[in-house]
């Protein structure tokens, strides 16, 4: 996770495994802090739009859980933008 200009965030999920991996992330139950800038992303109170940067499509918002399956050695690169 990395904070971006204007309050957005870059989020990257990486599957280093040789097998597909499924995951579910309930945004509202998590808080993330960037160790360099010390900015904190708390999704309990702020809603962000989610964009898949590689697929160039909108995935909804952080109000709903993110469900995804990553193929082996695949990456999911997201941009979160305040609504």
And the tokens for 74? 């695949």
What is the tens place of the pLDDT at every residue in 30-59?
Answer: 888 999 999 999 888 899 999 999 999 999
β partners of residue 60: 50
Q: So where are the chain's domains?
A: 2-82
Question: Strand, coil or helix: what is 6?
Answer: helix
Chain position carrying tokens 């995804």? 68
Give the whole-angstrom CA distance, residue 17 versus residue 5: 32
pLDDT at 4: 95
Name the architecture of domain 2-82: Sandwich (2.60)
pLDDT surpasses 90 at 83: no
pLDDT surpasses 90 at 62: yes
């Amino acid at each position: 996770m990395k904070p971006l200009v204007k309050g957005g965030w870059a989020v990257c999920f990486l599957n280093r495994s040789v097998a597909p991996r499924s995951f579910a992330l309930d945004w509202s139950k998590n808080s993330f802090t960037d160790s360099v800038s010390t900015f904190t992303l708390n999704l309990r109170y702020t809603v962000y739009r989610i964009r898949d940067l590689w697929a160039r499509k909108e995935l909804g918002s952080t109000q709903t859980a993110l469900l995804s399956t990553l193929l082996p050695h695949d990456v999911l690169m997201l941009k979160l933008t305040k609504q």
